[in-house]
Amino acid sequence: MTWPEKKKEVVTETGVRKVAPKHYEAARKGNVISYPIKSLAELKLVVISEGDALFETGKAVTFKYIRNNEKSPHGQDIEPSGRYMLHNVSNFVPPGWESGTVTFEKPIVLNWNGWKQRMSQFFDEKVGKKLSRTIAKDGYDGIVTVDGEHTEEIIDLTMF
């Protein structure tokens, strides 16, 4: 990917911004422009200790999980494919849910808010299975999202 060195200034309702020449017209018209994320730090990585597990990017972790085997009714247009699960801190398993133990050798652990968009941007706007394959190709086998003091969505990518 080639990045232009010289950016143009554009005045929008939110102030003056510098944008790449190819985005100038869209920015001038007030359209939202997505800027690529270039570093892991921009993914908003976090570290969290929850129950008996310490979740940290790039560090192995073993934990108990639960997962609903029914397909989600929510739109899944950009999220990575994989086995979605929750960290089972309480040992409660709802009727009909799967439970078990999983180990990630090298997970990505990041802030939950907007994580799907950030991951897609970081991995060249890929989505779904292509996104998951690209993440796995980079050596990561899981994604753990964190909202404040607890984990949220956890995605097992070991099948890629």
Do 73 and 113 belong to one domain? yes
Same domain (yes/no): 32, 44: no
Query: Are 123 and 48 in the same domain?
Result: yes
Tens place of pLDDT per residue across the chain (160 aa): 344 445 445 444 444 445 455 555 554 555 444 556 777 778 899 999 999 999 999 999 999 999 998 877 665 678 899 999 999 999 999 999 999 999 999 999 999 999 998 998 888 889 999 999 999 999 999 999 999 999 999 999 999 9
The number of distinct structural domains making up the chain is 2
In this predicted structure, what is the pLDDT of residue 99?
Answer: 97
Under 8 Å between Cβ of 85 and 55? no
Residue 121: how many CB atoms within 10 A of its CB? 19
Which has the closest alpha carbon to 40: 109, 128, 136, 101?
109
| Residues ≥6 apart with Cβ < 8 Å to 37 | 43, 118, 121, 122
Q: Are strands 107-111 and 142-147 parallel, antiparallel or unpaired?
A: parallel
Separation between Cα atoms, residue 160 and residue 134, nearest integer Å: 9
Shared domain check, 80 and 25: no
Do 95 and 147 fall within a single domain? yes
73: in domain: yes
- Asked if residue 74 and residue 140 are part of one domain, the reply reads yes
pTM for the structure as a whole = 0.76
Residue 143 lies in domain: 40-156
